[in-house]
Amino acid sequence: MSNTENRLRVELCGLELDNPIIPASGTFGYGYEFAELYDINVLGSFSFKGTTYEPRFGNPTPRIAECPMGMLNSIGLQNPGVHSVIEHELPKLKQVFNKKAIANVGGFSVEEYAKTAELLDQCEQVGIIEVNISCPNVHNGGMSFGTDPKAAAEVTAAVKNVTKKPVFMKLSPNVSDIVSIAKACEDAGADGISLINTLLGMRIDLRSKKPVLANKMGGFSGSAVFPVAVRMVYQVYEAVKLPIIGMGGVSSADGVIEMMLAGASAVQIGAANLMEPFICPQIIKELPEVMDKYGIKNLNDIIGGAHNG
């Protein structure tokens, strides 16, 4: 292995990644779609599309809206259901990806989270289970779990009870105190934290004078949310002793470094994938040069570096 590759290696709960770059759930399908564009084995890992126990058609359209420096989405966890994912999607992925993937799990009850996670835990291709307790665009869904420490802890404990693989809880930024939610997840046995999911946003069409999205509100993502994400990763790193996967508006190698200085051990790229499909390999390629620019020998040396002194 070359020295350059060594410099980029990071670890998440025993899972070694060649680099910290991970496409975020909902922006990379089940992986094999992007394999038609480039060799996805260059990635550290990727988080596949949010998966629920039953198939979901998702929210009514329109469910995407553009914004300056970002986008709104109200997809509503559209997916074929966990059984179909295991039977059809993962075998297709295995043909093009020889690393462990991150399984993103959605749910509408504690029992449903546990049932879905238990099934994905048995999949050889899954290295980490990422539990989305923060999706802000599903009626009566994830948001209620992710905004209450007690409910967040309940989901964490239920999933940990039926899984052996590392469990990362993906938190909602739509709260006044992100630290209390993260600590509740840590106390309930979480192995790591993923943050942030989308902020809650809205656009109104000036001609029709009605909300652009059929669901009225949706998840706001893109470069505009980056400072919020950096702030929350920084706060959670101070409060818990768990590895963090940071995300939210990252679209450059500089952004990756900043997120890691705030406390992230790995970084997910979300909305940027939808605008520039080659963004992840591009960032991986640029990282060594950007590290040299800032005098960084190894990425592990800078995790949480902004907290020193």
Question: Over the stretch 128-154, which tens digit does the pLDDT of each residue have?
Answer: 999 999 754 344 444 568 898 998 999
- Phi (first) and psi of residue 302, to 5 degrees: -105, -5
Tens digits of residue pLDDT in 56-76: 988 899 999 989 899 999 988
Q: What is the mean pLDDT of residues 259-263?
A: 98
Give the pair of three-digit tokens for residue 285: 């390629």
Question: What whole-number distance in Å separates Cα of residue 243 and Cα of residue 258?
Answer: 16
Tens digits of residue pLDDT in 214-244: 999 999 999 999 999 999 999 999 999 999 9
Q: Set out the domains of the chain in order of their start, with CATH numbers.
A: 3-56+79-202+219-307 (3.20.20.70)
Question: What whole-number distance in Å separates Cα of residue 305 and Cα of residue 297?
Answer: 13
Q: Which of 123, 135, 185, 280 is catalytic?
A: 135
Q: Residue 166: helix, strand or coil by DSSP? A: coil
Where b means 16+ CB within 10 Å and e means fewer, 139-167 reads eebbbebbbbbebbbbbbbbbbeebebbb
pLDDT, residue 109, reads 87
pLDDT higher than 70, residue 114 = yes
Q: Tell me which of 108 and 117 has the higher pLDDT.
A: 117
- Provide the percentage of residues in the chain whose pLDDT is more than 90: 87
Answer yes or no: 135 catalytic: yes
Give the pair of three-digit tokens for residue 148: 């209450």
The one-letter amino acid at 144: S
Q: Residue 29: helix, strand or coil by DSSP? A: coil
pTM, full prediction: 0.95
pLDDT, residue 143, reads 54
